[in-house]
Amino acid sequence: MKQVHRSERVHTIALANQKGGVGKTTTAVNLAGELARRGHRVLLIDCDPQGNATTSLGIAKQTLQATTYDLLMGSGSIAQALITTGREHFDLIPADQELAGAAVELVSAEQRERRLRNALEPVRNHYRYILLDCPPSLGLLTLNALCSADQVLIPLQCEYLALEGLAQLKATLDRVRESLNPSLRILGVVMTMYDGRTNLAQQVVDEVQRFFPQLIFRTLIPRSVRLSEAPSYGKLIGEYEPQSRSAQAYSALAEELLQREERS
């Protein structure tokens, strides 16, 4: 496996939000795909027992030799778990329902929050971007992802109640930074399921802009039937409907992310 040039920093980004249905997995797989399409070596890690990122990429779970569960529990190596998505520059560590057991089994384990971070060390420098798709909770699986990451990208649905969850998530990230991972920082908030026809959607965007003026991404991910359909075909939105507004939005999000990284 080819190593990333030493001058290129490895960006490890956890996509996290304890609220479900906000577009974490959709953003993780499509952002990863757009970064890979631009020639960056990308590794996506499915940290959710639902394994939706794995399924969205057209990977059959019954064929898996090892998963994120095996990395956390030490029952499999990263070489066994790492698979190609069939797309250039884009690899995956998959997950299935077995991962749900890790949340219980890790409770009494040593270094329980750092299991994933330690498992990733042999391959970390082979990628420019490592993205971690977190489950919709703030338990041990998400903590492992946050300890492995240096940045957090927060997908936030354009609904009013999402703002309450954002405050809770920020408090959790502050605690993780203080006690487990001092280098962790918020990369940004990306607004998802945006419907420009409603006043509420724009009000939520304005509210997030007011509280996090330096963090909110300009790119808004629209609510889209096509975006919901693509995973059922095992395709990214850029493969399924490349001319759609959603495909263009994720392309713009990737460009905006790259610009932020250059500035930082």
pLDDT of residue 261: 84
Confidence of residue 228 (pLDDT cuts 50, 70, 90): very high
pLDDT tens string 244-254 = 999 999 999 99
Confidence of residue 217 (pLDDT cuts 50, 70, 90): very high
Report for 88-92, 138-142, 206-210: range of highest mean pLDDT? 88-92
Q: Write phi, then psi, for 135 (nearest 5 degrees).
A: -75, 165
Considering the chain, what is the average pLDDT of its residues?
92
Which residue did the predictor score with more confidence, 168 or 77? 77
Confidence of residue 7 (pLDDT cuts 50, 70, 90): very low
For residues 32 and 130, what is the distance between their CA atoms, to the nearest angstrom? 9
pLDDT at 207 over 50: yes
- Other beta carbons within 10 angstroms of residue 249's beta carbon come to 21
pLDDT at 3 over 80: no
Q: In the block, which residue shows the tokens 């492995």? A: 148
Which CA distances in Å does 253 have to 26, 101, 133, 153? 13, 34, 17, 12
Mean pLDDT over 221-235 rounds to: 95
pLDDT of residue 158: 87
For residues 181 and 84, what is the distance between their CA atoms, to the nearest angstrom? 29
Confidence of residue 138 (pLDDT cuts 50, 70, 90): confident
Q: Which residues share a beta bridge with 42? A: 90, 129
pLDDT at 10 over 50: yes
Percent of the chain at pLDDT above 90? 74
- Other beta carbons within 10 angstroms of residue 171's beta carbon come to 11
Position 139, amino acid: G
pLDDT at 1 over 70: no
Confidence of residue 75 (pLDDT cuts 50, 70, 90): very high
For residues 28 and 221, what is the distance between their CA atoms, to the nearest angstrom? 13
Cα dihedral sign for 237, 242, 244, 248? positive
pLDDT at 70 over 90: yes
Which residue did the predictor score with more confidence, 179 or 164? 179
Domains belonging to the chain, first-starting first, are 11-189 (3.40.50.300)
pLDDT tens string 83-131 = 999 999 999 999 999 999 998 898 888 889 999 999 999 999 999 999 9
Position 152, amino acid: V
pLDDT at 2 over 70: no
Confidence of residue 163 (pLDDT cuts 50, 70, 90): confident
pLDDT at 69 over 70: yes
